[in-house]
Amino acid sequence: MRITLKQLEYFVAAGEMGSIKLAATRINISQPSISSAISHLEREFGVQLFVRHHAQGLALTSAGKTMLREAKLMLRQAQGLYTMAGELNNEMRGRLSVGCMVTLAPMIAPQLAHAFSERHPGVDLNMADGGHQDLMSQLRQVEIDVAICYDLQIPADIQFEPLASLPPHVLVSRNHRLAGQASVDLDELASEPMVLLDLPKSREYFLSLFESKGLQPSIVARAVNQEVVRTMVANNYGFTIANVRPRNPAALDGRKLVPVKLAGDHKPMRIGISTLAQERKPMVLTVFEEHCRNLISDRSIPGMIWGDVNGT
């Protein structure tokens, strides 16, 4: 092999930044070194990796996009050697990038990351949140190693392992007429004003609950931010349907929210870990997956109240 890991690292930096100048700043190396590495890779592979724009930087070619993904995988596998060496010395080392569904991150991510970093201080752990489609794209582009998300239309090239199920429930303000009921069914909700969490995939899930019964909800407001939905509900705009139950029962403005059981049998959302399908996973990723299994289950979920909304 007449290429080096350094050359691949320089290529990845240029591909992600879309500029040799920005890539040089990011990895603290000279611009000529990056240009030389890219030229060498293009000669070795026999393909053009970038289209050079004089005033607009670099743009990956179709072949360049494929090579970028493979280069990231190769660098991650090389990093696995350091992890393995650390394991032989009873020390876990390496880098790990974790993505978390934006509606789960405020509750799950802090405890999950802190507990892992305390146990494995040699691992450089980076956590970020995002929408479902963003997380799937980031996994495919090897921008993150693992995603904590729901089982909402997982692509065939992504592995999903379910860890816990979250049944849907109704959320209303403390002054709402339904707040005192033990349960409510979809037929009664269909005529009530609804505030919808308008995120792709999540939106389709909530609407499918009504569609499965031949009903159509009366949507009066939509928001892509879960906390905006909760605050609108707390201010009596209407009800919403949710799966997560934060330990803090109030909205961000301090107004109280009341969960009400959704009567009937409904498909739950399942929280799990998603990874890019691959033959061999780096040890640090395997260890993090086991960490997730220990903290997220049908018995307990970080940052959430668990059990029936009526307290059982």
Q: How far is CA 28 from CA 10, 14, 21, 38, 215, in A?
A: 10, 12, 10, 16, 58
Whether residue 9 is contained in a domain is answered as yes
Residue 300 resides in a domain = no
Are both 144 and 20 inside the same structural domain?
Answer: no
Q: Would you say residue 256 lies in a domain? A: yes
Q: Is residue 301 part of a domain?
A: no
Domain count, the chain: 3
Note whether 150 and 191 are same-domain residues: no
Average pLDDT over residues 150-167: 93
One domain for residues 181 and 258: yes
Is residue 83 situated within a structural domain? no
Between the alpha carbon of residue 281 and those of residues 74, 146, 147, the distances in Å are 12, 11, 14
CATH number, domain of 100, equals: 3.40.190.10
Q: Quick one: 218 and 154 in the same domain?
A: no
Residue 79 lies in a domain: no
- Judged on CB neighbours under 10 Å (0-12, 13-18, 19+), 38 is buried
Shared-domain flag, residues 120 and 150 = yes
pLDDT in tens, 20-67: 888 888 888 888 888 888 888 888 888 899 888 766 678 888 888 888
User: Angle 5-17/31-45 helices, nearest 10 degrees?
Assistant: 110
**Residue 312, pLDDT above cutoff 70:** no
Same domain, yes or no: 201 and 281: no
Instruction: Indicate if 201 and 259 belong to the same structural domain.
Output: yes
CA distance linking residue 262 with residue 38, whole number of Å: 58
Q: Residues 55, 173: one domain?
A: no
pLDDT in tens, 107-130: 999 999 999 999 988 888 999 999
The range of the structural domain enclosing residue 215 comes to 168-267
Look at residue 250 and tell me if it is in a domain: yes
Task: Write the DSSP symbol of residue 234.
Answer: H
Same-domain pairing of 262 and 191 = yes
Give residue 275's pLDDT. 95
Model confidence pLDDT, tens digit, residues 277-308:
876 777 888 899 999 999 999 999 999 987 66
CA–CA separation, 53 and 72 (whole Å): 24
Query: Does a structural domain hold residue 157?
Result: yes
Residues 38 and 52 both lie in one domain: yes
Tens digits of residue pLDDT in 207-256: 999 999 999 999 999 999 999 999 999 999 999 999 999 999 899 999 99
Q: Are residues 227 and 175 in the same domain?
A: yes
Q: Is the pLDDT of residue 179 over 90?
A: yes
